Amino acid sequence: MKIKISKQIIYLLGLSIILLILVLLFSFLVLVPQGKEYRIKRSIVKKQNLELRQLKDFEFDTQTKLKKLTSDNKHVIGAFKNKFDEKRFEKQYKKYFQSLKLSKRVKQKKQDTFNVYDVNTTSSINSPKNFYDFLDAVNKSDWIIKINFPIDFQRDSEAIKSSFTIQVYYRD
């Protein structure tokens, strides 16, 4: 029994086997290694996306905190921007004291970003309430002011004398 196969079928079968071999070679030599690389890169991208999401959440939280702090401390931020006016300071706070002396301190370092003034005051007060009123007024002032300790109170017959130093900070 002879099997009759035409030349066209043999060519077609040979071409099919060659194409099958080429497809298998292409699959194992190109697609499979690229698939491994793809999976590795995909896992790296997933990790980076997770880090990005965490950083965006952190940025959002930080921005929220910044906005809250900015709104809560608007007065303080504005005080840093205000230029210090010696005459205005003396006029504004002289009512709390009998004498008010203001002297500018020389900058100690070139890196200092603030100018510092020493304010020496002496007053005769009948009660500490005047002093506390002054402290309240300083807290609401347009400048950043630091009251240095010690604050000396001395009783003088019917009045209380006080003496202390204040530093006023502002940027040029």
In the chain, the amino acid numbered 99 is S
Residue 99, beta-bridge partner list: 122
Q: Has residue 51 got a pLDDT over 60?
A: yes
Bond preceding residue 150 cis, omega within 30 of 0: yes
User: ∠ CA 29-35-38 to the nearest 5 degrees?
Assistant: 135
Starting at the edge strand that comes first in sequence, how are the strands of the sheet with 144-156 ordered? 99-105, 115-125, 159-170, 144-156
Higher pLDDT, 64 or 114: 64
> Are residues 120 and 86 in contact, defined by beta-carbon separation less than 8 angstroms?
no
CA atoms of 97 and 84, how far apart (whole Å): 20
Q: What is the DSSP letter of 143?
A: S
**pLDDT tens digit string along 119-160?**
666 666 666 677 788 888 888 788 887 877 777 777 767 667
CA atoms of 23 and 16, how far apart (whole Å): 10
In the chain, the amino acid numbered 129 is K
Direct distance between the N- and C-terminal alpha carbons of the chain, in angstroms, rounded to an integer = 111
Lowest mean pLDDT among 7-16, 26-35, 147-156: 147-156
Q: Which two tokens stand for residue 10?
A: 């043999």
The reported pLDDT for the residue numbered 60 is 97
